[in-house]
Amino acid sequence: MRESNASAIDERDVLDAIARAFEQGSVSVISGAGVSTDSGIPDYRGLGSRQRQTITIDDFLGSRRARAHYWLRAHRGWSRFANALPNQGHRVLADLEQAGMLTGLVTQNVDGLHRLAGNRHVIELHGSLGNVVCVSCGQQFSRTDIHSAMVDANPWLNDLSPDFDIDLETNDSISSLTGSLSIPDCSVCAGVLKPDVVFFGESVPVRTYSAARETISRSKTLLVVGSSLAVNSAVRLVQTARKSRIPVFIVNRGKTHLDHVATGKVNLGASEVLSQLAASLEVSAVLEDIE
């Protein structure tokens, strides 16, 4: 019991320290999947997440079957992404930026919800699922348009069972549908289309990573929210802050890979902590909900 009380006191101290940092301004944020779970988007790395088969960039580019497998699985997931709305955590971060307390936001998420919430200075470290790009000519397309084109070419997609996403990982008979799937090609050069996100085996674009590192380096405090820090690109950004003697606070439900280097850690959900922060700083997101 004593350890639990001590932990609670420590976390309150950390929350107070985070609030003071925002009051002083020049705070940068790295956000992860835990920020978007309250919008109905699963965290595929967090506590209780289901193991999924990964497709590397070499698999995707080297095999038509692998591409069909990806687009089949992504078809079901896109509806969830396309209909998702920012939650209170997103809105708090947008309000903090508008209030001049948040100077930069680097997100590992590919759902676009930070921009939808109103953040203007967002660096999407791993790209955006809302865009599709041709790997040959670089032409970009709307994911909504590609989704519609796939349904037009494969009307049976609308008849898939609710459990299809799970079945695709485990059932060979379901996976055989990959052979009959018609995948849209680039309308400019007939090249291969891929979602404009960083696949396993790909590196974050140099310009994107440089912009993220610069954002972190010019801040006075770094807050990591909703990330287990399991991806190397985010780990290196935290290390950049540490080398520059910038305090690093982590808010995440469950352990992260860099808890041991954090100035302070709060083991709670992103929306819960950001709501408390909004109340403490009297920014509008939480006040609007109370009214």
Q: Is 5 exposed, middle or buried (0-12, 13-18, 19+ CB in 10 A)?
A: exposed
In a 3-state reduction of DSSP, which class is residue 31?
strand
DSSP H/E element including 275: helix 270-281
Distance of CA 8 to the CA centre of its chain: 28
Question: Catalytic site residue 121?
Answer: no
Catalytically annotated residue among 69, 75, 114, 126: 126
Is residue 252 within 8 A of residue 267, CB to CB? The reply is yes
DSSP H/E element including 29: strand 27-31
264 bridge partner residues: 249
Distance CA(41)–CA(78), nearest Å, equals 10
What's the Rg (C-alpha) of the chain?
20
Catalytically active residues, by annotation: 126
